[in-house]
Amino acid sequence: MAASTHTVTNQPPPLVGHDVFAADRALVEAVDRHVAAEAGDAARDELSGLGRAAGSAEAHEWGAQADRYPPRLRTHDRYGHRIDEVEFHPAWHRLLDRAVSAGLVSAWGRPGGHVRRAAGFLVWTQVEAGHGCPLSMTHASVPALRTDPELAAEWEPRLTSTVYEEGLRPASLKRGVLLGMAMTEKQGGSDVRTNTTRAEPLARDGEYVLTGHKWFCSAPMSDGFLVLAQVAPATGRGGPTCFLVPRVLEDGSRNVFRIQRLKDKLGNRSNASAEVEFDGTWARRVGEEGRGVRTIIGMVAATRLDCVLGSAALMRQAVAQAIHHTAYRSAFGGLLIDKPLMRNVLADLALESEAATTLGMRLAAAYDADTEQERAFLRLAVPAAKFWVAKRCTPVVVEALECLGGNGYVEESGMPRLLRESPLNSIWEGSGNVQALDVLRALQREPSALNAFLQEVGKARGADHRLDGAIKGLLTELADLDGIEARARRLVERMALVLQGSLLVRWAPPEVSDAFCASRLGGDGGSVFGTLPHTLDLASIVERARAVA
């Protein structure tokens, strides 16, 4: 309805009604590149279906509602019995239902499954990032469970199902289940060896009871959790051990899983993150006693890849919104997108987004290939990518938000939600320093990882002198390990940039790789976005990244 005092003009329409997948050229090209030709059409059709759903006004509303009406803890029922349940807005369940039915928890054992899932995750979590947490943990639990073939045979079909069933029931009665992970305790998160939660064996082999707490346990309405707890040396080999803790026992009774409270978080509000206590909690051992860190690390590596993909999704959504807004908004006699300085900002942001997407999808392809070489590559590339891509997310989102001017600072634009979410991927699953130290560990202990990494970046050698120079600089840095811990961030940043540069040189259009190499590897860029050399083809970079409704 027209306002009586004025006519509303120069306000952009909402970016809805488009195919979020098809509009993302860097992502479409990555899928074409990494999915075998014979499966390419099916993959594109499937992802376009999800992309159209992600671009719909309905899904946008689900995302906004899930964030606006955060989960509520109900510790007791009306009669005073403990129930430890968390209530979610229906929109949360709709988001999860669509995600699970799209196969976002079922990559394992499907040809090209990781690339297809990664692309789907990147598309769908743009609607709402919070529900990505249970999707990631469920997907990532499979490698850890496979250390126990019997458990894997029982749980894997439910975990990789495309059916979402909400509510607490014995896992065997559900067609699809979700799994969480609880490692972090009050006295230590990064250093999980300080875990104090105790596990005592029961008479039946492999069964234990747990006593202790977890300081962070996200998605507490999941059907089960992989939990780290200490086994006393006297009762066995001893040490940190991995356990599967079901929420509901097979006889239908509730396992002891006391939710103390939900965290009041900066962002990630649609998702519940709980503090929990175990007190005589039944658990099944996963893997060997004392090998818990090694068992759960298979899960952590996969969730770290999702931190890369989740950050890429946030950046992509922020950049798409910024370009869309400026393509409709005029100031000082012309569209903002055509102003040379705004174009520089948008192009710089688009480069960062494309580099993140291309890297994330390359890592997913390595999971699919699953060769010795690719596993060695992942060993270094995953922590390096998690470090760098997650670190880039907040600066990108802040700058994209500013492209919308005052509108960007207002909740309805969706940009504040992206911003609140943006630091998280750098914190969980091992914060920045922990990733950098993990890279050092791999460099020191696994020479095949560095070889595989250098072979990968070497594939683009000779194609761009700035990339060649950066590879040379990296080798010099790697040759001198003096004081390496204190300069680990600097080293890992370089590794990630060289890897991104080499992938873009091989696969991106020349205007993209040229601008990336000039600004990120050749030193011709500033410390804020919008400082690309003005002689580059910035308009083409922006046009490529534009999502058209």
Ligand X SMILES: Cc1cc2nc3c(=O)[nH]c(=O)nc-3n(C[C@H](O)[C@H](O)[C@H](O)COP(=O)(O)OP(=O)(O)OC[C@H]3O[C@@H](n4cnc5c(N)ncnc54)[C@H](O)[C@@H]3O)c2cc1C
434 in contact with ligand X (CB under 6 A): yes
Query: Which of the stretches 5-13, 177-185, 460-468, 535-543 binds ligand X when contact is defined by CB under 6 A?
Result: 177-185
CB of 41 to ligand X, least distance (A): 37
Does an H or E element contain 438, and which? Answer: helix 432-445
- The dihedral through the CA atoms of 474, 478, 479, 481 has a sign that is positive
Position among 70, 120, 176, 189 found at the interface with ligand X (CB under 6 A): 189
The 8-class DSSP code of residue 406 comes to G
CB of 351 to ligand X, least distance (A): 27
For residues 138 and 159, the answer to whether their CB atoms sit within 8 Å is: yes
515 residue type, one letter: A
What CA–CA distance (Å, rounded) separates 232 from 199? 8
What CA–CA distance (Å, rounded) separates 272 from 86? 8
CB of 383 to ligand X, least distance (A): 12
Burial classification of residue 10, based on how many CB atoms lie within 10 Å of its CB (0-12 exposed, 13-18 middle, 19 or more buried):
exposed
| Residue 189 or 522 having the CB closest to ligand X | 189
CB of 188 to ligand X, least distance (A): 6
Beta-strand relationship, 207-218 and 273-286: antiparallel
260 in contact with ligand X (CB under 6 A): no
- Both tokens assigned to 77: 């029922």
190 in contact with ligand X (CB under 6 A): yes
Name beta bridge partners: 139.
none
Q: Of 472, 430, 451, which is closest to residue 374 (Cα–Cα)?
A: 451
Where are the strands (E) in 386-455, listed by range?
Answer: none
For residues 390 and 433, the answer to whether their CB atoms sit within 8 Å is: no
311 in contact with ligand X (CB under 6 A): no
222 in contact with ligand X (CB under 6 A): no
428 in contact with ligand X (CB under 6 A): yes
Query: Which of the stretches 213-221, 276-284, 301-309, 401-409 binds ligand X when contact is defined by CB under 6 A?
Result: 213-221
CB of 242 to ligand X, least distance (A): 12
| Residue 112 or 180 having the CB closest to ligand X | 180
Beta-strand relationship, 258-262 and 224-231: unpaired
Query: Which of the stretches 166-174, 318-326, 424-432, 535-543 binds ligand X when contact is defined by CB under 6 A?
Result: 424-432
CB of 387 to ligand X, least distance (A): 10
218 in contact with ligand X (CB under 6 A): yes
136 in contact with ligand X (CB under 6 A): no
- Both tokens assigned to 54: 């992600």
Position among 12, 432, 469, 533 found at the interface with ligand X (CB under 6 A): 432
180 in contact with ligand X (CB under 6 A): yes
Number of residues that bind ligand X (CB under 6 A): 24
Compute and round to an integer the Cα radius of gyration of the chain.
Answer: 24
Residue number, nearest CB to ligand X:
189
What CA–CA distance (Å, rounded) separates 386 from 132? 16
For residues 70 and 270, the answer to whether their CB atoms sit within 8 Å is: yes
Query: Which of the stretches 45-53, 70-78, 186-194, 278-286 binds ligand X when contact is defined by CB under 6 A?
Result: 186-194
What CA–CA distance (Å, rounded) separates 398 from 314? 11
276 in contact with ligand X (CB under 6 A): no
| Residue 56 or 431 having the CB closest to ligand X | 431
What CA–CA distance (Å, rounded) separates 294 from 288? 9
Query: Which of the stretches 24-32, 33-41, 423-431, 445-453 binds ligand X when contact is defined by CB under 6 A?
Result: 423-431
Q: Taking each helix axis from N to C terminus, what angle separates 432-445 and 488-507, rounded to the nearest 10 degrees?
A: 80
- The dihedral through the CA atoms of 246, 247, 251, 254 has a sign that is positive
| Residue 82 or 420 having the CB closest to ligand X | 420
- Both tokens assigned to 374: 């690719």
270 in contact with ligand X (CB under 6 A): no
216 in contact with ligand X (CB under 6 A): yes
181 in contact with ligand X (CB under 6 A): yes
Binding pattern to ligand X, positions 366-385, x when CB under 6 A? --------------------
Position among 23, 122, 151, 183 found at the interface with ligand X (CB under 6 A): 183
Contacts with 79 (C-beta within 8 Å, 6 or more apart), sequence order: none
| Residue 51 or 70 having the CB closest to ligand X | 70
Position among 65, 147, 211, 431 found at the interface with ligand X (CB under 6 A): 431
| Residue 265 or 546 having the CB closest to ligand X | 265
3-state secondary structure of 549: coil
141 in contact with ligand X (CB under 6 A): no
Position among 188, 206, 509, 533 found at the interface with ligand X (CB under 6 A): 188
184 in contact with ligand X (CB under 6 A): yes
268 in contact with ligand X (CB under 6 A): yes
Q: Where are the alpha helices (DSSP H) in 146-281?
A: 149-159
Beta-strand relationship, 179-182 and 224-231: parallel
CB of 435 to ligand X, least distance (A): 8
What does the binding site for ligand X look like in residue numbers (CB under 6 A)?
A: 180-184, 188-191, 216-218, 265, 268, 273, 424, 427-428, 430-434, 437
